[in-house]
């Protein structure tokens, strides 16, 4: 409870300083002020603008997240289990990984147009690499002794995957997924700013084009809200998929 | 009885950081089908190495290991191996850990549930079926691993100090059960232990190892009946005499190591 009081205090102080400084030390035109932003936020919230744009961005980010996450996990599992495949593809993966994915955006617009489809695929490609890498690391980190013990029990590759490898890699897969949340949003919002007529990115872009700083900040608040919600969702999913982790976390440290 | 496992002039050496280490050399041992052979000897004399080679985890550097008349190469899936570390699945609770080998074997759900419950009862873990390994004590993990080994129901059991971390009563209880089960189903067992009493109580034969590089200096046939009452062994003169003889045999190896 105390921690929440301290957090609230930080928010109040920050907003208070901003409110006081705005118009006195810095021009309202550049930095707006919390009261104006709150009013703007409220107005786009009640007229439904914010929610309709947020729904579009959420749809893009989620779809891209699911498609990219699934593809990344499958790829990571396949390469993690096959040394030949991993060694063959390694240089190509490093190459593509080092490439800033934002640089691909013009190509994606060329290939898929400026619609929903392009923005989803753009998000997916960003998420794919992050989830792929963490899944791959996770699979390579599975205890070889554990695998051997199960092979002695007669486990085939499918048994191993289901009983040993996947659950063992879960920790890593989820680390990748959690890391991907902000990137999924970056993907969706960059795509909207570049080539959108809807979504939170468009809302930011549109407000900025009209020099409506309060509008920009209100849209950004919407982005933050969405990021928090997605993060929370991934955490809930993680808890639900890995119930044993709770038991491990509750364990008292003994050496 | 026919020979099931045979070590023929088996030697194993490792290279670690430029150092050449002979772990075992000239090991010759024949284990009959349905026989329980216990392996005793000072730490590091390569007893576990023999189990590893029987399971086919690695090949000997010299000689060969025969299983059922054929030289072992690659994983030997006819053995069940209970290693010193328990190797349980941290993401499965006790019941599901024990169920794993039966799921692999493709047993039906009710059959698995029934057998799991029996085994949990047998190893004294009733009430802990839903606990995760991280919530168990060391001894309870060992018991879970034992139950899982029995669930796998292999032809041969390789056991590396399986009862080390258990209290005296439970240890005796599990020794009784193990011997009874193995006799009943004619299981072949290679059992590594540091406890000489345990070696005599459980074994049909005791193989005594020298210090590293380990080799079998003596193979002792235990003069006790196949169906022995483990609870009353301590009052059996044959048992005490055999244990005393084993202690005598072990003393040179122990004093050579300076570990008395």
| pLDDT tens figures, A141-196 | 888 889 989 999 988 989 999 999 999 888 888 888 888 888 888 888 888 888 77
Please check whether residue B169 lies inside any domain of the structure. yes
Q: Are residues B219 and B171 in the same domain?
A: yes
Please check whether residue B220 lies inside any domain of the structure. yes
List the single residue in B75, B93, B105 with the smallest CB-CB distance to A151. Answer: B75
How many domains would you assign to chain A?
A: 1
Nearest CA in chain B to A159: B104
A242: chain B residues, CB-CB within 8 Å: 91
> How confident is the model at residue B253, as a pLDDT?
56
Please check whether residue B45 lies inside any domain of the structure. yes
Q: Are residues B73 and B110 in the same domain?
A: no
**A185 CB-side CA count, 13 A:** 18
Please calculate the CA angle A219-A224-A227 and round it to the nearest 5 degrees: 130
Q: Are residues B56 and B175 in the same domain?
A: yes
Please check whether residue A7 lies inside any domain of the structure. no
List the single residue in A148, A168, A170 with the smallest CB-CB distance to B57. Answer: A148
> How confident is the model at residue A68, as a pLDDT?
93
Cβ pair B79:A159 closer than 8 A: no
- Strand B70-71 versus strand B156-160 pairing type: unpaired
Q: Domain residues for A195?
A: 34-242
> How confident is the model at residue B260, as a pLDDT?
42
The enclosing domain of B33 has a CATH number of: 3.40.50.300
List the single residue in B93, B100, B132 with the smallest CB-CB distance to A163. Answer: B100
Examine the fold and report which residue of B152, B180, B204 is the final residue of a domain before the chain moves on: B152
CB proximity list for B65: less than 8 A, separation 6 or greater:
B5, B6, B7, B8, B10, B53, B54, B71, B72
Can you tell me the distance from the alpha carbon of A72 to that of A175, in angstroms, rounded to the nearest whole number? 13
Cβ pair B92:A244 closer than 8 A: yes
What is residue B247's DSSP assignment?
H
Cβ pair B80:A251 closer than 8 A: no
Could you count the other beta carbons within 10 Å of the beta carbon of residue A143?
A: 13
Q: Are residues B66 and B93 in the same domain?
A: no
> How confident is the model at residue B206, as a pLDDT?
92
Whole-complex ipTM: 0.83
List the single residue in A148, A155, A244 with the smallest CB-CB distance to B132. Answer: A244
Q: Are residues B161 and B242 in the same domain?
A: yes
Nearest CA in chain A to B148: A153
The enclosing domain of A169 has a CATH number of: 1.10.3720.10
> How confident is the model at residue B189, as a pLDDT?
93
Please check whether residue A247 lies inside any domain of the structure. no
Q: Are residues B58 and B172 in the same domain?
A: yes
Q: Are residues B72 and B96 in the same domain?
A: no
How many domains would you assign to chain B?
A: 2
**B2 CB-side CA count, 13 A:** 5
B105: chain A residues, CB-CB within 8 Å: 154
Please check whether residue A18 lies inside any domain of the structure. no
Which helix (H) or strand (E) covers residue B191, if one does?
A: strand B188-192
| CA dist list (Å): B197 to A18, B148, B158, B205 | 79, 25, 19, 13
Please check whether residue A51 lies inside any domain of the structure. yes
- Test mutation, A145, A152, A245, chain B, max B CBs within 10 A: A152
Which positions of chain A have pLDDT values less than 50? none
| CA dist list (Å): B3 to A187, B57, B192 | 67, 21, 19
A167: chain B residues, CB-CB within 8 Å: 89, 91-92
Q: Domain residues for B100?
A: 89-138+147-152
Please check whether residue B5 lies inside any domain of the structure. no
Q: Are residues B124 and B172 in the same domain?
A: no
Cβ pair B104:A150 closer than 8 A: yes
List the single residue in A152, A159, A247 with the smallest CB-CB distance to B79. Answer: A152
A244: chain B residues, CB-CB within 8 Å: 90-93, 132, 134
Smallest CA–CA distance, residue B255 to chain A, in Å, is: 32
- Test mutation, B104, B112, B133, chain A, max A CBs within 10 A: B104
Q: Are residues B48 and B68 in the same domain?
A: yes
Please check whether residue B2 lies inside any domain of the structure. no
Examine the fold and report which residue of B129, B152, B175 is the final residue of a domain before the chain moves on: B152
Mean pLDDT by 10 residues, chain B (260 residues): 85 84 87 91 85 90 88 88 87 93 92 93 88 87 90 91 82 86 87 89 89 82 81 83 84 55
Cβ pair B80:A150 closer than 8 A: no
List the single residue in A146, A167, A242 with the smallest CB-CB distance to B87. Answer: A146
Cβ pair A146:B89 closer than 8 A: yes
Please check whether residue B167 lies inside any domain of the structure. yes
Q: Are residues B180 and B208 in the same domain?
A: yes
Please check whether residue A179 lies inside any domain of the structure. yes
Q: Are residues B68 and B166 in the same domain?
A: yes
B151: chain A residues, CB-CB within 8 Å: none
Q: Are residues B163 and B37 in the same domain?
A: yes
Smallest CA–CA distance, residue A176 to chain B, in Å, is: 19
Please check whether residue A86 lies inside any domain of the structure. yes
B104: chain A residues, CB-CB within 8 Å: 150, 153-155, 159, 163
Cβ pair A149:B77 closer than 8 A: no
List the single residue in A151, A154, A167 with the smallest CB-CB distance to B91. Answer: A167
Please check whether residue A43 lies inside any domain of the structure. yes
């Amino acid at each position: 409870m105390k921690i929440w009081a301290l957090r609230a205090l930080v928010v109040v102080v920050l907003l208070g300083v901003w409110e006081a400084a705005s118009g006195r030390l810095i021009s309202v035109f550049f930095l707006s002020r919390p009261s104006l932003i709150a009013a703007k936020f409220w107005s786009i919230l009640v007229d439904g603008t914010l929610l309709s744009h947020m729904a579009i961005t959420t749809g893009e980010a989620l779809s891209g997240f699911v498609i990219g996450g699934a593809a990344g996990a499958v790829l990571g599992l396949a390469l993690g289990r096959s040394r030949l495949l991993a060694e063959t593809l390694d240089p190509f993966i490093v190459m593509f990984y080092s490439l800033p994915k934002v640089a691909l955006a013009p190509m994606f617009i060329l290939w898929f147009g400026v619609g929903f489809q392009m923005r989803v695929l753009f998000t997916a490609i960003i998420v794919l690499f992050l989830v792929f890498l963490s899944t791959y690391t996770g699979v390579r980190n599975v205890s070889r002794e554990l695998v051997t013990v199960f092979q002695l029990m007669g486990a085939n590759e499918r048994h191993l995957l289901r009983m040993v490898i996947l659950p063992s890699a879960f920790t890593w897969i989820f680390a990748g997924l959690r890391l991907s949340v902000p990137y999924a949003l970056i993907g969706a919002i960059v795509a909207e700013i570049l080539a959108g007529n809807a979504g939170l990115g468009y809302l930011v872009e549109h407000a900025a084009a009209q020099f409506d700083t309060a509008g920009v900040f209100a849209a950004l608040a919407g982005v933050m809200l969405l990021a928090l919600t997605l993060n929370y969702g991934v955490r809930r999913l993680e808890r639900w998929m890995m119930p044993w982790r709770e038991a491990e976390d509750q364990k008292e440290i003994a050496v | 009885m026919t020979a099931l496992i045979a070590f023929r002039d088996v030697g194993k050496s490792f290279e670690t950081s430029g150092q050449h280490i002979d772990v075992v050399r000239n090991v010759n041992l024949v284990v009959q089908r349905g026989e329980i052979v216990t392996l005793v000897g000072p730490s590091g004399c390569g007893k576990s190495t023999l189990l590893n080679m029987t399971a086919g985890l690695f090949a000997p550097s010299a000689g060969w290991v025969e299983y059922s008349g054929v030289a072992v190469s690659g994983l030997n899936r006819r053995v069940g191996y209970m290693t010193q570390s328990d190797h349980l699945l941290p993401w499965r609770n006790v019941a599901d850990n024990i169920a794993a080998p039966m799921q692999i074997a493709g047993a039906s759900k009710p059959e698995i549930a029934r057998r799991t419950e029996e085994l949990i009862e047998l190893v004294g873990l009733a009430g802990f079926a839903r606990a995760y390994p991280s919530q168990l004590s060391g001894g309870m993990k060992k018991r879970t691993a034992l139950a899982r080994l029995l669930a796998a129901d292999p032809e041969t059991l390789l056991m590396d100090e399986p009862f080390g971390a258990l209290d005296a009563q439970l240890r005796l209880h599990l020794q009784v059960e193990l011997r009874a089960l193995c006799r009943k189903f004619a299981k072949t067992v290679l059992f590594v232990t540091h406890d000489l009493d345990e070696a005599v109580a459980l074994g049909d034969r005791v193989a005594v190892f020298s210090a590293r590089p380990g080799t079998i200096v003596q193979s002792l046939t235990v003069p006790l009946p196949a169906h022995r009452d483990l609870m009353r062994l301590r009052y059996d003169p044959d048992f005490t005499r055999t244990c005393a003889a084993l202690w005598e045999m072990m003393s040179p190896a122990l004093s050579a190591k300076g570990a008395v």
